[in-house]
Amino acid sequence: MKAYDLEKRAIFTPKGQESLSLQDVDVFYGDNHVSRQVSMVFPKNQITALIGASGSGKSTLLRSLNRLNDGIAQVKGQIMYDGQNLNAPEANVYQIRRQIGMVFQKPNPFYKSIRKNILFGLRDQNLSKATEEEILEDVLRQAALWDEVKDKLDKSALGLSGGQQQRLCIARALALKPEVILMDEPTSALDPLATAKVEETMLALKKEHTIIIVTHSMQQAGRIADNTAFFHKGRLMEYQPTTKMFMTPELEITQDYLSGNFG
Ligand SMILES: Nc1ncnc2c1ncn2[C@@H]1O[C@H](COP(=O)(O)OP(=O)(O)OP(=O)(O)O)[C@@H](O)[C@H]1O
């Protein structure tokens, strides 16, 4: 097994069409250099898991992909999507966040009805009532929540269970029709049954979407991710098809992390 050598590392290029690609991405919180020279490709219609010990910069990198670090951290390097550098100062942040949606660790429904949660992001579009209803049903079905909520769409979203709230947040993100969905530990606040439902939803969503997920659960990465990227101290150490990563990692440090020797 190989030790890590920055100069000689092979950059893995996953199979499939490219969705997002990063070239030499560095992120700084003031003097704290958190993400270091990250270059990688996220393939379209696949699930990519970002794993690594706490503090290895996974969330920071994820949040840079749709400019959620604006005003918080300095992001350098190229984040290419559809021929455009999303990290360029002139890039349209509003447009980026429509194309690249985000689901957070803790379900964060608005203090509104289920219906209003879904339609909130569409309120400026002057859609007809019929179109709104179509979108509502469509995204709730995609998030595997429709059957559970169809009779209480005007009830408060806060009355839903944690797992239902998280699927509502996924549906709310879907209403904006993003191509890419970023998920930051989306099931860490959920019980195993709710986790299984959200994972099923993710697997169904990848037919139409590209999913990038930060997870601390190796089992979860094993169940859902096509490819897995391991980060250590801000660097992308190893990036492989998930089965290869777990069965035959190339680097000692990956093996150590996967065996629970640190992290
Ligand atoms: N908003 C912030 N302001 C300043 N420093 C931050 C901020 N967010 C994260 N950091 C720092 O950046 C580093 C990486 O944090 P980050 O949350 O990206 O790591 P992570 O791998 O996602 O960790 P975890 O698995 O615990 O969520 C840490 O040292 C953290 O303290």
Q: Which residue has the tokens 């709730």?
A: 140
- Residue among 20, 1, 24 at smallest CA distance from 11: 24
Per-residue pLDDT tens over the stretch 55-97 = 999 999 999 999 999 999 999 999 999 999 999 999 999 999 9
CA gap 4, 255 in Å, rounded: 12
Strand partners, 20: 42, 81
pLDDT(7) > 60: no
Q: How many C-beta atoms surround the C-beta of residue 55 within 10 A?
A: 14
Per-residue pLDDT tens over the stretch 243-256 = 999 999 999 999 99
Q: How many residues does the chain have?
A: 263
Region of residue 30 (phi > 0: left; psi between -120 and 50: alpha; otherwise: beta): left
Return the ligand 1 atom nearest residue 231 CA: 21
CA gap 142, 204 in Å, rounded: 8
Minimum mean pLDDT among 42-46, 78-82, 106-110, 259-263: which range? 259-263
pLDDT(259) > 70: yes
List of E strands, the chain = 18-29, 32-43, 47-52, 74-81, 84-85, 100-103, 180-184, 210-214, 227-232, 235-241
Amino acid at 200: E
Q: How many C-beta atoms surround the C-beta of residue 259 within 10 A?
A: 9
Per-residue pLDDT tens over the stretch 20-31 = 999 999 999 999
- ipTM exceeds 0.85: yes
Minimum CA distance residue for ligand 1 atom 9: 60
Minimum CA distance residue for ligand 1 atom 25: 54
CA gap 173, 60 in Å, rounded: 20
Region of residue 91 (phi > 0: left; psi between -120 and 50: alpha; otherwise: beta): beta
Minimum CA distance residue for ligand 1 atom 3: 29
- Residue among 230, 212, 167 at smallest CA distance from 63: 212
Distance from Cα 235 to the centre of ligand 1, integer Å: 13
Cα dist from 126 to 55, 122, 130, whole Å: 43, 8, 11
Domains of the chain: 18-258 (3.40.50.300)
Minimum CA distance residue for ligand 1 atom 13: 55
Distance from Cα 106 to the centre of ligand 1, integer Å: 16
Distance from Cα 73 to the centre of ligand 1, integer Å: 11
* Residue list, ligand 1 pocket, CB within 6 Å: 29, 32, 34, 52, 54-60, 72, 214
Burial pattern 57-67, b for ≥16 Cβ within 10 A else e, equals bbbbbbbbbbb
Distance from Cα 22 to the centre of ligand 1, integer Å: 19
Minimum mean pLDDT among 9-18, 20-29, 179-188, 199-208: which range? 9-18
With the most atoms of ligand 1 within 8 angstroms of its CB, the residue from 54, 56, 60, 72 to mutate is 60
Q: What is the pTM of this model?
A: 0.93
With the most atoms of ligand 1 within 8 angstroms of its CB, the residue from 25, 29, 35, 36 to mutate is 29
Minimum CA distance residue for ligand 1 atom 28: 55
pLDDT(41) > 90: yes
With the most atoms of ligand 1 within 8 angstroms of its CB, the residue from 32, 51, 72 to mutate is 32
Q: What is the maximum span of the chain, computed from C-alpha positions, in angstroms?
A: 60
Exposure of 221 in the CB half-sphere (CA atoms within 13 A): 28
Q: Which two tokens mark 22?
A: 């990063």
Return the ligand 1 atom nearest residue 60 CA: 18
Per-residue pLDDT tens over the stretch 104-161 = 988 899 999 999 999 999 988 899 999 999 999 999 998 889 999 999 999 999 999 9
